[in-house]
Amino acid sequence: MQALLIGEENSRRTEFFLKAAVELSMPMKFIPYPSIDKLGTFNPPICENYAVKIDPPLPNSYNINDINKVGLHYSNFLKRLQVVKDAKFLNSPEKILHVMDKLLFKQSIENAGICTPSSYTRVNSISELRNVVIEKRLNGVFIKPRYGSGAAGAIAYRRNLRTGDEVIYTTVAYSSGQFYNNSKLRCVRDKRELETIVNYILQMGVIAEAWIPKASFAGMVYDLRVVWQFGKIEYATARLSSGTITNLHLGGKSIDISELNLSSKNLSEIEALCNKTMAVFPGLKSAGLDILLEKGSLKPYVLEVNGHGDLLHKDIKAENKLYKSQLLYLKSLTEEQKNEY
């Protein structure tokens, strides 16, 4: 049995994973992720007798309409890999798909009693969204497409319960009848544009969550990206932003979690929450958890689990320890196979 990476050619993930394999003197086979037009010709049994890591497709479109199309294609690819026999996976195709589907993921952690923001399912229009916010007396609502990633199509909606004033923060822009992702976070107050964007995204199939104010540091709000691997936290970073969405590609700033000077109690609560969450998804040996710390109390909440949450630029350009740890795990799988014969 040999190690195998399925991923995108010319991506940073592929580049640094293969670089780590060279540094560890570990043989590694690479298979390019099949494009939409080539999925039908992809032969899943090619993965048999390999220890496999599956990387995600690269986002290659700014068109919001493509979010579900790309998600469906990747879902179909993962489903085809589920039937492969005699392959061992770093992360099982089934569980990657499970956490990628934000609605299914949310239902799973809520059923398991994981601390996470309250979700609302009957929100299909701006009027229904307003009703929920008013009825529940919410600060606001975060809206995320069911299969979106990287804040694509995400909307942070706020409403002043006293005046009725509304605002959204989003990367979604609208022009000439087309919806697309902007490279910058936008603040939209114009009622007509706001309603147009919100109604469109809500019709895509979304998850809507209560807005919980985030903790702040150095004048900016933050959340955490925690990389959990092989039963423990291997890396944790804080993502700071002057706005409401902290994704680093939208201008967020990354600092080591140690700079936040969190108490040992806070750190223990974060670790316990991550361990409890990952116990729900035993097929994931590596994942990135997005953790919100509530303003004031610093109570931790799980926002998302990403089956591909291991690409941290500070790590790959330094020790590259996350990928090396994964490679050593894949190597152990290949050695287990040898011992079976």
Q: What is the C-alpha separation between 324 and 217, in angstroms, rounded? A: 31
Per-residue model confidence as pLDDT tens digits over 117-160:
999 988 999 999 999 999 999 989 999 998 887 778 899 999 99
Q: Which domains does the chain have, with CATH numbers?
A: 2-91+316-339 (3.40.50), 119-210 (no CATH), 214-306 (3.30.470.20)
Q: What is the C-alpha separation between 6 and 93, in angstroms, rounded? A: 12
State the pLDDT at residue 341: 45
State the pLDDT at residue 122: 83
On the question of pLDDT at 271 being above 90, the answer is: yes
State the pLDDT at residue 62: 65
The mean pLDDT value for 255-259 works out to: 94
On the question of pLDDT at 253 being above 70, the answer is: yes
The mean pLDDT value for 210-217 works out to: 94
Confidence of residue 63 (pLDDT cuts 50, 70, 90): confident
Task: Render the burial of 272-301: b for 16+ CB within 10 Å, e for the rest.
Answer: ebbeebbebbebbbbbbbbbbbeeeeeebb
From residue 112, alpha-carbon distances to 107, 212, 279 in Å are: 9, 20, 10
Confidence of residue 60 (pLDDT cuts 50, 70, 90): low
The DSSP secondary structure of 65-115, one letter per residue, reads THHHHHHHHHHHHHHHHHT--S-EESB-HHHHHHHHSHHHHHHHHHHTT--
Q: Could you give the 3-state DSSP secondary structure of residue 304?
A: strand
Q: What is the C-alpha separation between 323 and 16, in angstroms, rounded? A: 8
Per-residue model confidence as pLDDT tens digits over 285-323:
999 999 999 999 999 999 999 999 999 988 998 999 999
Q: What is the C-alpha separation between 91 and 72, in angstroms, rounded? A: 19
pTM equals: 0.93
DSSP state of 41: G
